[in-house]
Amino acid sequence: LSVASSAAGIGCYANLGMVQEGSFITMIKLDTGCDSFAIATDMLSHALGVYSTGGPITDEPSVATIAKVNELYKCTASCATKPVCLNGGSPSGKDCASCVCPAGWSGAKCDESSAGTQLIQVTDTRDVTLSLTGAFTSADEKVIIVQAPPGKKLQATVKAFGPDCFTACSVAGVEIFRSTNDKTICSTSPAPSPLVSTGNSLTLRLFRTANYTVQSTVFLTVV
C-alpha cells in the first residue's frame, strides 16, 4: 500500500481493493484539501476493498464498514467463539471476546450506554434538538438514544441543520442509526426523507470536526 500526495486538481482517489497486476502497489492519492482524517480513512476503506455508492463522508468509519473489512480479511477467523453483539454492534477483529460498538453504546457486547449519552422516551411526537457549542479543541459529538414503547417504532425527520453550508459531511453532520436506511445528513436542501426505526429505538448523533457551532432538530413520531 502506498499513500502519496498528488498534484493540484487530481482529487482524492484510491484503488478499489488490492492491485493484482502491474506494479502490485495499491495506491491512495490525496490532493490538497483531501488530507483530513475523514477523507483519508474513506480512501483507505476503498483501498481495503469497500465500495461505496456516493454517500456522505463522515468523521469516522461506520460499524458496517469495519464489519465488512473484518469479513473481507477474515479478521475473526481465528476466534473459537464470537460474542453476540447487541444494538447494532459487530464482532471485533482484534479481540475475540468483544464487539465494535456504534455511537451511544459500549461494553463487551454493546449493551451499556456510553458515558455522556442521553436517553429519552417518546410516546407520541416530539422535537429533539442536538447542539455543539463553545470552543472546539478536538472532535466533538452529542449522542441521544431515543426509545418508543415496546412493540412500536419511531419515524425521524430532520427539520433543521445548521450551518447549512456543507456539501460533504466530514466537517459536521447528524447521523441516524438503527433505521431501515441509516443516514448522515448535513443539509436540509433538499428536505431529507423520513426514516423509520427497525425496532423501538433510534440513535441520533451530532458531530463536528472543526470550530463551528452546530445544531440540528429532529422531529420524532411513534408509529
- In this structure, of 15-24, 65-74, 115-124, 135-144, the range with the lowest mean pLDDT score is 15-24
Q: Taking the CB of residue 89, how many other CB atoms lie within 10 A of it?
A: 23
Cis, peptide link before residue 91, omega less than 30° from 0: no
Residues 124 and 217 in one domain: yes
CATH number at residue 125: 2.60.120.290
pLDDT value, residue 139: 74
Query: In the chain, how many domains are there?
Result: 3
pTM: 0.76
Residues 39 and 87 in one domain: no
Q: How far from 178 is each of 1, 77, 100, 130, 203, CA to CA, in Å?
A: 34, 27, 15, 18, 7
Is 15's pLDDT higher than 70? yes
Residue 55 lies in a domain: no
Which residues touch 106 (CB under 8 Å, ≥6 apart)?
Answer: 112, 113, 114, 115
Average model confidence (pLDDT) for the chain? 84
Which residues touch 138 (CB under 8 Å, ≥6 apart)?
Answer: none
Closest C-alpha to 195, from 177, 217, 172: 177
- pLDDT classification of 123: cutoffs 50, 70, 90: very high
pLDDT in tens, 78-90: 999 999 999 889 9
Residue 38 lies in a domain: yes
Show which of 77, 98, 113 is a domain's final residue: 113
Residue 191 lies in a domain: yes
Q: Residue 167 burial by CB count (10 A; 0-12/13-18/19+): exposed, middle or buried?
A: exposed
Mean pLDDT of all residues in 109-135: 95
Amino acid at 173: G
